[in-house]
Structures are given as C-alpha cells and as structure tokens.
Amino acid sequence: MSVVIIAAVLFAAFACLFLALGMFATARRPASGDGQQTAAPAPTVTGQELALPFVDRVVKPAIAMLSTTAKRISPQGLVKGVKHRLVLAGRPVGLDIDRFMAIKAASSIIVGVGALVSIVFSSNRLSAIVLGALATGAAFFLPDLWLRGRITDRKRAIRIALPDTLDLLTISVEAGLGFDSALTRVVANTKGPLADEFFRMLQEIRLGTPRAQAFRNLGERTAVMELDSFIIAMLQADVFGISIGKVLRVQAREMRLKRRQRAEEAAMKSPVKIVFPLVLCIFPALMVILLGPAAINIYNAMVGTF
C-alpha cells in the first residue's frame, strides 16, 4: 500500500509541475516596442495554441524552464565545462547545453520529490533527510558521470581507428591525391567518431577556415593525445614545407606502434584484474568441491568416535 501511495504522490507532483510550467510558458508575453513593460493581460488559451502539439505547448517550455533554473544554481565555470564535455562526447543523442541542464534539474527534482515522500512515511526522519539530501545531490551530478563515460568511449574509439585511418590517408596521398581529396576519400570509406570529426574539419576548410585553424579546432573537439601529436606534425609540415606523404607514413607507423603497446599493456594488466574474481567467486566454489567431501568424512569420523 505504501508503494502505491508513493507512486500516486510522485505522479501527482509531476503532473502539477508540468502543468504549472506549461501555464507559465503560455502566460509569458513580450515587452512593448518602446522598451517599457506593458501590463500583462490575463492568461488566455487561444485555439491556435491548443492546436499546437503537446511537446510545443508543455514539454519544450518545461525544458527551457528547467535549463534556466539549473544554469542559475550552477557556477558559470561548471556550465562552460559542461559545454566543452558535450563537444568532447560528440553531442550524444543530439544533446545541447539546454537539454542537458534540463535533464540534470529534472533528475534532481525527481529524486527530491521521492526523498520528500520517503521522509513523510519514514519512521526515522533524520536518516531519511540525510539520505534524501545526498541522493538529490547525487542525482544532479549523475548525468555528468554518464557524459564522462561517453567521452571515454569516444576517445577510445578514436584511438583505435586512428592508425587504420592514417594508413588509408597515406595510401591515398601517395597515389597522387591532394590532402583534402585524400581526406574526403577516407571519410567516405570509413565510419565512426574519427571520420565524423574529419568530415567536420573538411567542411570548415571548404567554408574558408584556414587549414591550421581547422586542425586546431579538431584537437579541441577530440582531446586525444595521439591525434594531437598527428595534428602538431601536420602543422609543422605545413609551416616548414615537408612532404605530407612522408609525415603521414611516419605518423601511421607511430600510431600502429602505440596501439600495439596499448594492447600489450592491457594484456599485462589482465592477470592483476582477474585476481579478485578468482578469490571472490571461483576459489570458494573450488574449495567447496575439493574439500567438501573430505570435511564430511572427517566430521562423520569424529562423531562416530565421540
């Protein structure tokens, strides 16, 4: 019964929240053209507004309100860091800063309402208040942990794809194509975050951005050490007039070497990582299988003796 009550309270709270946000967004009116604030008319709902989809009438204003609230309570440096992390993550599922901050605010509100309900129905109020406060704060930063995981996965995918991509780029350049044409051919024949970033760099170059600045923008959007070394080598080759084919061949060989070294490092770490599953999961069962019959025989012998 308590679970049903909590679920009903949560549903009513969120229904009231979204209705209030929708009414607030509908009631807002722009200021007059002479810069003076006119008196706000009584909030009315027209047929044109009712004809809008539910997402435009309620969900989008609610997202904007939650995003504004989260930005106000967050430090300015935190908001800038979130913007940069969204870029590093490749804007997963089309997230921008407004939607991400709205998700942070909504998650904290959800957990906060649940914490209030648990405080009301809890016998130990002090522990419920402490746990509710901790859970609400953790819910606000939980999307950041998910975003960091997406950044890590994206960087790993870029590191893995970089040697093969550089090999294709080297072959295309040595076959007689220019760097931009070779990069276009590589982007057309590969997939993944690295291909997407190279495609964006090509678009910047075609729109008039200098190649050096496009390379620097690529490094800022990825923050991968191996790709940064490739970018530095390409910038130096452009400045000193070194053959791009030679630079690409050297960089491709170094990237393959680094990938092999990372694989060897991971293989050397695996025995250490496998110790804990062995001790906690496999060894107890093995001891029961090996020593169980002997322990039973010893027990029977001792019981028969005494």
pLDDT, one tens digit per residue, over 192-211 is 999 999 999 999 999 999 98
Q: Which residues contact 223 (CB under 8 A, 6 or more apart)?
A: 88, 155
Q: Which domains does the chain have, with CATH numbers?
A: 2-23+53-153 (no CATH), 155-270 (1.20.81)
Segment holding 286, helix H or strand E: helix 283-305
Residue 178: what pLDDT?
Answer: 87
Element (H, E) at 210: none
Token pair for 161: 């794809």
pLDDT reported for residue 214: 93
Among positive and negative, which fits the CA dihedral 297, 302, 305, 306? negative
Predicted TM-score (pTM) of this structure: 0.70
Q: How far, in Å, CA of 262 to CA of 220, rounded?
A: 23
Measure the CA–CA gap between 65 and 98, rounded to whole angstroms.
9
Classify burial at 235, counting beta carbons within 10 Å of its beta carbon; exposed 0-12, middle 13-18, buried 19 or more. middle
3-class SS of residue 91: coil
Sign of CA dihedral 220, 222, 225, 231: negative
**Residues 234 and 244: beta-carbon distance below 8 Å:** yes
> What average pLDDT does the structure give for the chain?
79
Q: Dihedrals φ, ψ of 39, to 5°?
A: -70, 135
pLDDT above 70 (res 103): yes
Assess whether pLDDT exceeds 60 at residue 17: no
Residue closest to 202 by CA, chosen among 233, 220, 180: 180
Q: What is the DSSP letter of 35?
A: S
Q: Token digits for 275? A: 């110790």
User: What number is the average pLDDT over the span 163-187?
Assistant: 90
Confidence of residue 49 (pLDDT cuts 50, 70, 90): low
Among 26-35, 44-53, 111-120, 148-157, the range scoring the smallest mean pLDDT is 26-35
Residue 31 clears pLDDT 60, i.e. is over it: no
Give the number of other Cβ atoms within 10 Å of residue 8's Cβ: 11
> Contact 158/222 with Cβ under 8 angstroms?
yes
Q: What is the reported pLDDT for 273?
A: 86
Tell whether the model's pLDDT for residue 34 goes beyond 70.
no
For 270-286, the pLDDT digits (tens) are 888 888 888 888 888 88
Lowest mean pLDDT segment, chosen from 40-54, 103-117, 209-223, 227-241: 40-54
- Average pLDDT of the residues in 179-189: 90
Within 89-210, where are the H helices?
Answer: 97-121, 125-174, 179-189, 193-206
Burial group, residue 194, by CB count within 10 angstroms (0-12, 13-18, 19+): buried
Q: Distance between terminal CA atoms of the chain?
A: 55
The pLDDT of residue 19: 43
For residues 186 and 189, what is the distance between their CA atoms, to the nearest angstrom? 5
